[in-house]
Structure 1
């Protein structure tokens, strides 16, 4: 057996106490097919088009920071939560999971 595969890469499993749905929220469908680097960061991207120009938001995070609630959700940041987003902006996008608008 090649030990390099087992020492430098592993299948993603956050923690045995974390259920599959939470794991899927953190890493998406990659948890079933991708071998993550041990202690590596997760990358998520979101792209929207504003006035015909693509804007990209790229996020890198440690899944343990999410589980341990070290990161804030945008809805808990008053400056972000109070922003009004035009419905037209949301409708014209191709989100896999549309944002929840309260």
Structure 2
């Protein structure tokens, strides 16, 4: 829907286009009810989309539920420590010869 003579969609007071996906999603929810955020990912390669569907199906989930679980598990895991930090946290014990796995015949 566009306004006559201006070629653009009308906007609500909050700046959301009346015909946008966000605008449609916001109209579904009533005031006082928790809102669910809608994320749309475009231009996903066909093989990636198929792999997502297969992984979800193998866990007995819909593709949408599988996507939510992937996002949840990825974003809630603790951040990885840099290798330098891991190595620096190791105790300095033993001599280099204690870790030499080559056997000298002499």
Give the TM-score category using the shorter length.
Answer: under 0.3
Q: Normalising by structure 1, what TM-score?
A: 0.21
Q: Normalising by structure 2, what TM-score?
A: 0.21
The structure with the larger Rg is 2
Higher helix fraction (1 or 2): 2
Higher strand fraction (1 or 2): 1
